[in-house]
Structure 1
Amino acid sequence: MIRLLDINAIAERYAGSLIKVVGVFRAAIPPNTTFRSHTQAFPTPSPGFVFGIRGSGIFIFDGTSYELQTGKVLHGGEGMSLTMRTEASELEYFLVRYTLHEAGQPDPSSAAVHKPFELDPGITPAMAELLNQLRESFYASGSLAAIRTGYLFQMLLHETLSSSLNRHNDDNREIIEQARNYIHSHYMQSLSVAALAERHGLSAKSFSYLFHKHTGVFPIDYLIQHRMKRAQELLTMSDAGIKQIAASVGYEDALYFSRLYKKHFGRAPSQARRI
């Protein structure tokens, strides 16, 4: 399960801080290997981002496992134990370690610094180039190289967060499209926001928010609109009774259905009949 924090909140946290890159490494772990790089006695010295370049593996921060795959990014906090493990696949990755300062205080207590989290930006061509440039710049000498390193890290952070946000929004759009299709196919059944949300592993509140964001209406209103549209088609195309049509679009109470229909179209269902 992806532990996805609020990406905008992460961006805000870094935007208000001074960041110094303290290490850039490209490494590979062979298949079927377990490597305990940091223990409780010798924990991680600083926070860092791990970019999956090729293959897959498991990073275990303080006993909690995170899967790193190509295109995924993990953030590990300072002061943590870390075990890395691979199975059949070799894992190749970039590690970018940094320190964070705000108002003269190094590494303030913050979820963005001390807690692990996952991002799913994919590996864009821009990100791959930034990682290579960042490593070259970090190991170059001189103050100009140090300034360039800080600039490249900011660019990399922006590319990572913006790509993650775009992919997250795409995933949300797909969820809502699936929900709409489900409503279109099951509108005649008893449906609730809670049941629709549960189908997609969301809370009713989150599902309603996303549905409204992508469609402009809340899910119950969308369901009613679709039912009323289907009812109007049935009223004009068949001789079925009002009670029968009400039941066929999901309403056992014909009187309640008639009130909804009149509210939606401004006239009673009986007035929709062709003369």
Structure 2
Amino acid sequence: MTVLDWNVLSKMWADYSFQVGPIAHFVIGPNALSTTYVSATPSFTITKRGHGKHTLDQITYEMAPGTVVHGSADMRVHACNIGDETFECYRVLYTGYFPPGWQGKEAYKHYRLEIGECPHLYALLDQMCETAERGDIQSELQLKALFYQFLNEIRLASRKLQAGEHRDLIEETIAYIHLHIQETHSLFSLASRCGMSPKYFAELFYKVAGVSPIHYIIRHRIHLAEKLLLTTNASIREIGKSVGYSDPYQFSKIFKKYRGVSPSELKTAGRSN
């Protein structure tokens, strides 16, 4: 599954204007002929039922309920039904008005998204089809509003599904942090290890762990340090170094911030009990 930076996409959709349409609803029987054409504008193809193939230039995407394929303009499109049942899908075409030299170019990329089953999305697409057919100015404004609602629906559904599918990866990262707690970690290094952007990795990590990656590391370091202060005779410098703080002053400062007492005060209190 494609991992997209939804922050980049959301900014693109929020900052620039679009003309939406046409909106098409296809129902292709098991024995129907496939279609081939050159796309005029970027588009989203959303599968409602059945199984098909959607080829953009030389890249083929398999289509099933809960999948969305985004294609760019000037691409050779080949679509066909590959199942024994009726294949039904929607195509939402749009034209974006971007400034010269715009760097994101997300509208000019092709990718496949998994969004899971979204019955309410199909109802929204039916409403978009009906609105596009009317063709008056009021309907054009309504269609733009529905388009933004459509974009938000697929964003939320895709992110929810991605978060669930990446839970194992985040949990493996947590185990990695535990094993290498004495090493230096940054948001960038942890995200790179997972092949994600730092912002997207941080969002997924928070959904799984309930805290940011850096806060999690600090919290775990302080928890381990507290145990060592109370159960060993190691020096404060040695304990700080063992949990990733080579500077004893920094270790004491962070420990007191999170525990309310300094390492030496905790150690002394532990001895007296």
Which TM-score bucket, shorter chain as reference?
A: 0.5 to 0.7
In 2, Cα distance between equivalents of 1:26 and 1:121? 20
Instruction: Report how far residue 81 of structure 1 moved.
Output: 0.5
Aligned to 1:37: 36
Q: Deviations over 1:77-132 (max 9, x none)?
A: 222101235545654211233455689xxxx9993554324444445344222222
Aligned to 2:233: 241
1:87-98 equivalences under 5 Å are 87-88=82-83, 90=85, 91-98=87-94
Q: Does 1:251 align with 2:242?
A: yes
Aligned to 2:259: none
Matching residue within 10, 13, 36 for 2:12: 10
In 1, Cα distance between equivalents of 2:3 and 2:62? 11
Unmatched segments (≥5 aa) in structure 1: none
Q: In structure 1, give the amino acid aligned to 2:270.
A: R
Q: In structure 2, give the amino acid aligned to 1:251.
A: S
Aligned to 1:273: 270
1:56-67 equivalences under 5 Å are 56-67=51-62
Corresponding residue SS for 1:256: coil
Aligned to 2:67: 72
For the structure 1 residues 272 and 158, does the alpha-carbon distance in structure 2 shift closer, same or farther, using more than 3 Å as the test? farther
For the structure 1 residues 190 and 57, does the alpha-carbon distance in structure 2 shift closer, same or farther, using more than 3 Å as the test? farther
Unmatched segments (≥5 aa) in structure 2: 257-261
Q: In structure 1, give the amino acid aligned to 2:271.
A: R
Aligned to 2:252: 262
Matching residue within 117, 120, 134 for 2:128: 134
1:104-253 equivalences under 5 Å are 111=105, 113-122=107-116, 124-139=118-133, 144=136, 147-148=138-139, 150-170=140-160, 171-172=162-163, 175=167, 178=171, 181-182=174-175, 186=179, 190=183, 192-193=185-186, 196-198=190-192, 200-202=194-196, 207=201, 217=212, 219=214, 222-236=216-230, 238=231, 240-242=232-234, 251=242
Instruction: Report how far residue 54 of structure 1 moved.
Output: 1.7
Q: In structure 1, give the amino acid aligned to 2:92.
A: V
In 2, Cα distance between equivalents of 1:252 and 1:20? 55
User: Is the CA contact 2:170–2:205 (under 8 Å) kept in the aligned structure 1?
Assistant: no
For the structure 1 residues 99 and 233, does the alpha-carbon distance in structure 2 shift closer, same or farther, using more than 3 Å as the test? closer
Instruction: Report how far residue 75 of structure 1 moved.
Output: 2.4
In 2, Cα distance between equivalents of 1:229 and 1:242? 16
For the structure 1 residues 218 and 135, does the alpha-carbon distance in structure 2 shift closer, same or farther, using more than 3 Å as the test? closer
CA RMSD of aligned residues (A): 4.5
Q: Percent identity?
A: 20
In 2, Cα distance between equivalents of 1:208 and 1:100? 30
Q: Deviations over 1:113-162 (max 9, x none)?
A: 5432444444534422222233334445xx55x643x3453244223321
For the structure 1 residues 229 and 183, does the alpha-carbon distance in structure 2 shift closer, same or farther, using more than 3 Å as the test? farther
For the structure 1 residues 70 and 250, does the alpha-carbon distance in structure 2 shift closer, same or farther, using more than 3 Å as the test? farther
User: Is the CA contact 2:54–2:79 (under 8 Å) kept in the aligned structure 1?
Assistant: yes
Instruction: Report how far residue 61 of structure 1 moved.
Output: 1.1
